[in-house]
Chain A
Amino acid sequence: MAQAVGESMLRVEDPALLTGTARFADDLPVAAGTLYAVVVRSSEAHAEILTLDTAEALAMPGVEAVITGEEVARISDPLLAAVKRPEGYCLAIGRLRYVGEPLAIVVARSRYEAEDAAELVRLETRPLPPLLDPVAAAEEGAAAIHPEVGSNVVHDRRFRYGDPEAVLGAADRVIEMTVDYPRVLPCPIEGYVVVADYRAGDGIYDVLANFQGPYGLHTVMARALRVPGNRLRLRTPPCSGGSFGAKLAIFTNIVMMCLASRVTGKPVKWVEDRLEHLVASGSGPNRVTRLRAAVTGEGVVEALELDQLEDYGAWMRAPMPGPLYRMHGASSGAYRLRHLAIRNRVVLTNKVPASLVRGFGGPQLYFALERLMQRIAVELALDPLEVVRRNLIPAGSFPYRAPAGALYDSGDYQAAVERAVEEGGLAELRRRRVEARAAGRLYGIGFAAVVEPGMSNMGYLSTLLSPEQRARSGPKDGAIASATVEIDATGSVSVTADSVPQGQGHRTVLAQIVGEVLGLPPEDIAVAAEHDTGREAWSVAAGNYSSRFAGATASAAHLAATRLRDRMARLASQKLNAEPEQLVFEGGRIFARGNPDNAAAFYRVAGSLHWSPGSLPEGMPPSLRETAHWSPPELAPPTEADEINTSLTYGFVFDFCGVEIDRSTGRLTIDRYVTMHDAGRLLHPAIAEGQIVGSYVQALGASLYEDYAYGSDGSLLAGTFADYLLPTAPEVRDPLVLHLETPSPFTRLGAKGLGEGNNMSTPVCIANAVADALDLAEVRLPITEDRINAWLSGAEPPRPERPGAAARATPERRARPAALSGRNSYLIAADRAAVWKRLLDPDALAAVIPGCRRFEQQGERRYLAEAVVRVGPIRGAFTARLELCDLEEPESLRILGEAQGALGAARGEGRLLLVEEGAGTRIDYQYDIDLSGKISSVGSRLLEGASGLLIRQFLAGFARQLETAEGPGAAPAGRSPWRRLLARLGLGR
């Protein structure tokens, strides 16, 4: 059976997963008396908190505590980040800055009771205008969402390498473009789980959480909790339901639950649900990049200017602004240009704080770089592939120092490209494009070449500081990986490591590596995936991120196993009377090379140390447990000139694809997708393939389906998986995956990180193909049928003229999709004066507002209404404040209103125009309503129809009331021409 390193042995993780016996964080037992927490979240994007009343919630059965931001500020400290200001706590205090922001924690005996009580936390706010567009938020004079900081731009640094200004200034041709990369979510199957237990006796917070690292965040959590590191014990579960970056941002929730346990004196468990995961767990940051490139007539880029404006949402959470700096040293991508200017700005807006998402900065960078390469080809009338080829770093120049400081370890980009073109059948795709176009069909081909980083330098984020600031704070560099290998008295081997796997198969690969070093079958090696900061080795670099496993943790495990083998060899050399260097470990035996009969059983040699430590060779420690810590010297701190080797390994990915677009539906079909990877030596080809295809599918989501859209009022539109669309099996055709292996000289096994490449290459490769198919200069993600249709279609056939029909405005494409707006008309068989009088009569209104339970006048033309609004089975109690204004008797008036309820909040206005028509009155009405909260994030699809229905119900009731009041003679029910007309319009039922 294939099981050596480099072969695809069956994964040791899979039997438990496939038989349903794997235990995830939520499956693990908790202590008796554990309480359950629910987080109360903001339904408003930006508002000042006027009052936050928890009394009613606290009085509910089973509720033990309701914790607010003010209490949190008393017992904890702010969460530290690399950008020092703004400073924030784990709960909102005073102001709400994004939809989903936690503002209170309800702790009760059960989750059900906690959710019941959470609905009764009363909040009064004063709305503030939300800022959502990063460019507008970054403008001088924009209102700061953190007034104490003074500006929404919280970081701004410029970098230059070579002489970019001179080269750009002297260039024949400067090509410019601006691109947007949207927000995307990581979306693991399993959400967050925290079980926090504050032990007052010894002052220890003992936490079980599906945290993924990096463990630098442990420091942030301990600081916030006001305890030394050894008083925060953090344990992770054995199995993970995936992460893709998500399970870093759990750390603020860990702090929340620790405080909840401290306040209640009992263990507290919190399981994030899917609603809160989508709205509040954190998305990747969106980035606006302006590029300027100095280009020769042959398409060679000589200098590049990148102006990157990245939107981190409402708060900077560690390790932000990582995505802006993780790629910094490699900002020139796979290309050999030497003159580079970079401006990095971080802007804050009223969105969920940005967090880790697989790809972490790569998708944003390459969407800009590779769109630029395609534009260069179009503008110079060159073949895009030829432009890529002319700019690639030449083979033979590795290790290659990129202008911003990355040290590309190995590669042969030309060989990778040529093999992909050959084996991937590019010529055939080109033929299909010719045929399709000849037949009038739409077909395009796209390319992308990216350098994929692995194992981040812990010092990369310090590049955001000036050299002077860095000198003051001391150097940051390297990245320590840790692994422990232990051989017991029976000769069986156990391994633990710091990689906190999230489903990737680390246990399998570690078993292969350690087994191979010690000459044992990998299935005999026990690898534990759980991590416990109270017991296992770890460093601030520990965790599952930046594709660090194959380069870093694998190297540490290899080092630990090798040291133990050397120790075992010295032990065995006594018995076998052979030099330790001559000994071979194979098949559970140790023997001298060339003399396999002179052998000792592995378990006997191991046992001899445990049972007879007195007879060890001189100077050998009485231990077969070895913890190796490994940090590569190539990961130096940033230089005075801001050069930084941001990562240890740099793989190469070259993709191309052919897409066809159907004119009648705008539907895009990927005809073929080819992805070539050089990730150094592959430790386990099947796992590598799984990572590549998985990354590809995730990128397909970002390219075509996923839209983390905010309405202009800052409400989140995609609050469920019915609206946040992940690709599923029917949407995905497997890509053709090709490999080249140029081993890394910097890792012990020659392997490089490879888990994120297609997140970086695929969105832009598809975008380039679409640009080619439709001849577009600008492509926005996600590329939906609707967008394609808009790009494709010309003027629309007009609405037919209908003599006699009530005038209706053409519904316009709204700039504000969260908002409801509409206009319509309603006919009432009563004269205008009567209608006007009724409209101003509170009793009459109360009788016809659907579901009205209470209606009170609260001043001149001001009313308070409580109503249970029903749309089919959906029911929500709302409290509304209404005001009638701009009264022009008997013609027009305006209604201003706001409503709040468990389903969300609404603010809006309506305008009514009363027009005499025959013996009756036509009410022309139009309305604009902003909705936030649950109703807008889970039901946006139905809202428009539902609001129309409610308004019709109201007007029908109103008309009925008036017509009855006017007497049967005025409008015989069911007979009048009005009724018939209403019925024809589908209004009067």
Chain B
Amino acid sequence: MKPPAFDYCRPDDLEEVLELLARHGEEASLLAGGQSLVAMLNLRLTRPRVLIDISRLEPLRRLERRGGALEVGAGVTQAALAESLRDSEDSPLLKLALPWVGHYQTRSRGTICGSLAHADPSAELPLCLAALGGSLRLGSARGERELSAEDFQLGPLTTARAPDEMILAARFPLPRPGQGVAFREIARRHGDFAIVALAAIAEGEEIRLAVAGVADRPAVRGWHHEEATLEEALNAFAWDLEGYDDMHASARYRRDLVRRLGRSVIEEARACRS
């Protein structure tokens, strides 16, 4: 479990990062918190020639309200975001979900944008971004662009980020008045990859339900709430996710959880509409 040889760069500013990315493209990996990357390096699952360490770049640690969203810079750790949300109402959903992201220890290094870039289909943060209809700001030497969560995550560990691009920030829409949110996760042990994680957002009679851990990326479905058809809607959603068996859970169990816990997160989100 030793990585193959690679070059290590720790640029002093963002321009240099983008320059290095432009130069090395696919051969480069960005190192932020390293909670997924370093393990993959040691397992030799990934073999970048160049590792670009962005963990000490001050400008990426920005965390601010901007244009109706909470904008989280690429250097913001999960622990830092959790801390900032402790006494704030900027993202009730993230506040619920963050304690489920890995473990206390991994959150102190792991970054929000790192988790989004890694795009694990079971991960909580991509789920939240998708549920809220958030977006990502991507930057490269060619310029900047913004992609919706839906357009960004394409499959397991696969995103629309071009090889010379990096995530500059993630944008989580601020809560709207009257919105209620709920989050629920089932994992084998606390901190494990979710078998199923669900986030619900209720606004008036509108419902958005997002599910991670079943399809190959977070899936979001919205509908107008009607008690009479909820069961049917959840069953259809559960089947449409086309989940599969792995050693921890069967596709059937995952569908059962979507049906049963889907109902309870929706009820919870509706109950806490402000």
A interface residue numbers (CB < 8 A to B): 111-112, 115-116, 119, 273-275, 664-667, 705, 707, 709, 717-718, 720, 722-723, 725, 727-728, 730-731, 784-786, 789-790, 793, 796-797, 799-800, 808, 811, 813-814, 817, 822, 871-876, 902-903, 934, 938-942, 944-946, 948-949, 952, 989
Given A727-B189, A797-B235, A874-B46, 19 more contacts at CB 8 Å?
A: A116-B5, A665-B186, A707-B247, A728-B189, A786-B249, A793-B252, A796-B256, A811-B245, A813-B251, A813-B252, A817-B247, A872-B118, A873-B40, A875-B46, A903-B45, A942-B157, A949-B154, A949-B156, A949-B216
The answer to whether A786 touches B253, judged by C-beta atoms less than 8 angstroms apart, is yes
Chain B residues near A275 (CB-CB < 8 A): 1, 43
Tell me the smallest distance from the CB of A135 to a CB of chain B, in Å. 22
Contact of B264 with A by CB under 8 A: yes
What is the CA–CA distance of A705 and B190 in the complex, to the nearest angstrom? Answer: 12
Whether B188 contacts A784 by the Cβ 8 Å rule is yes
With A784-B188, A811-B243 as known contacts, state yes or no: A872 contacts B157, CB within 8 Å.
yes
B73 in the interface, Cβ–Cβ < 8 Å? no
Looking at the assembled complex, report how far the CB atom of A20 sits from the nearest CB atom of chain B, in whole angstroms. Answer: 17
A-B contact pairs, 9 of them (CB 8 A): A665-B260, A665-B261, A728-B191, A785-B195, A873-B118, A934-B44, A941-B248, A945-B216, A949-B154
**Contact A873 B37, beta carbon cutoff 8 Å:** yes
B2 part of interface (Cβ distance < 8 Å): yes
Taking a contact as CB atoms under 8 Å apart, the answer to whether A728 and B190 are in contact is yes
What residue of chain A has the Cβ atom nearest to residue B46's Cβ? A873
Bound CA–CA A789/B247 (angstroms): 15
Contacts of B48 in A (CB 8 A): 873
Complex Cα distance, B245 from A709, in Å, reads 14
Inter-subunit contact A725/B40 (CB<8 Å): no
Q: Are A785 and B256 in contact (CB under 8 A)?
A: no
Q: How many angstroms between the C-alpha atoms of A938 and B43 in the bound complex?
A: 9
Q: Report A-chain residues with C-beta under 8 Å of the C-beta of B37.
A: 873
| Closest partner residue, chain B, to A822 (CB atom) | B244
CB of A949 within 8 A of CB of B155, answer: yes
Contact status B156-A814, CB under 8 Å? no
Contact partner, B2, options A111, A822, A945, Cβ 8 Å: A111
B193 part of interface (Cβ distance < 8 Å): yes
B residues within 8 Å of A by Cβ?
A: 1-2, 4-5, 29, 37, 40, 43-48, 118-122, 154-159, 186, 188-193, 195, 215-216, 231-232, 235-236, 239, 242-253, 255-257, 259-261, 264
Contact B256 A789 (CB under 8 A): yes
Please determine whether B236 and A873 come into contact, CB atoms closer than 8 angstroms.
Answer: no
Contacts A707-B247, A793-B256, A940-B247: A874 and B188 contacting too (C-beta < 8 A)? no
| 9 cross-chain pairs, A with B, having the tightest CB-CB distances, nearest first | A872-B157, A945-B216, A945-B156, A949-B155, A273-B1, A873-B46, A730-B190, A799-B239, A664-B260
Check A722–B239 contact: CB distance below 8 A.
no
Q: Which residues of A contact B255 (CB under 8 A)?
A: 796
Least CB distance from A714 to B in Å reads 15
Q: Give Cα A797–Cα B260 distance, bound, in whole angstroms.
A: 12
Find the B residue at minimum CB distance from A38: B2
Most chain A beta-carbon contacts within 10 A, residue among B44, B119, B248, B249: B248
How distant is the Cα of A822 from the Cα of B158 in the complex, in angstroms? 20
**Chain A proximity of B127: nearest CB distance (Å):** 15
Question: How distant is B240 from chain A, measured CB to nearest CB, in Å?
Answer: 9
With A722-B192, A941-B122 known to touch, is A709 a contact of B250 (CB < 8 Å)? no
Nearest A residue (CB) for B263: A664
Q: How far is the CB of A178 from chain B (nearest CB, A)?
A: 24
Residue of B nearest to A877 (CB): B47
Residues of chain B within 8 A (CB-CB) of A728 are 189-191
Contact at B193–A722, with CB atoms within 8 Å? Answer: yes
Chain B residues lying within 8 Å of A814, measured Cβ to Cβ, are: 245
Q: Given the complex of chains A and B, what is the CA–CA distance between A643 and B40 in angstroms?
A: 54
With a CB–CB cut-off of 8 A, which chain A residues contact B2?
111-112, 115
**How many Å lie between the Cα of A53 and that of B219 in the bound state?**
47
A274 to B156, CA, bound (A): 25
Shortest beta-carbon distance, A136 to chain B, in Å?
21
B156 and A730 contacting across the interface, CB-CB below 8 Å: no
CB-nearest residue of chain A to B238: A797
A796 touches B247 (CB 8 A): no
Q: Once the chains are docked, how many angstroms separate the CA of A702 from the CA of B173?
A: 44
Q: Name the residue on B nearest A811 (C-beta).
A: B251
Residue contact B249 to A944, C-beta cutoff 8 Å: no
Among residues of B, the one whose C-beta sits closest to the C-beta of A722 is B193
Q: Shortest Cβ distance from B117 into chain A, in angstroms?
A: 9
Across-interface contacts of A800 in B (CB, < 8 A) = 232, 235-236, 239
Q: Which residues of chain B have C-beta atoms less than 8 A from A941's C-beta?
A: 122, 193, 246-248
**For the complex, what is the distance from the CA of A843 to the CA of B136, rounded to whole Å?**
38
Write the nearest CB–CB distance from B233 to chain A, whole angstroms: 10
Are A785 and B186 in contact, CB atoms less than 8 angstroms apart?
yes
Please give the distance in Å from B47's CB to the nearest CB on chain A.
Answer: 6
A940: B residues at CB distance < 8 A: 246-247
Tell me the complex Cα distance, A317–B216, Å: 43
B159 CB → nearest A CB, Å: 7
Distance in Å: Cβ of A159 to nearest Cβ of chain B: 38
Specify which of B157, B186, B189 is in contact with A874 (CB 8 Å cutoff). B157
B181 to chain A, nearest CB (A): 20
Partner of B1, one of A274, A718, A784, A822: A274
Q: Which of A718, A800, A940 has the most CB of B within 10 A?
A: A800
In the bound complex, CA of A790 to CA of B251 (Å): 11
B42 CB to closest chain A CB, in angstroms? 9
| A718 touching B247 in the complex, CB below 8 Å, given contacts A799-B239, A800-B239, A934-B43 | yes
Closest to A805 in B: B240
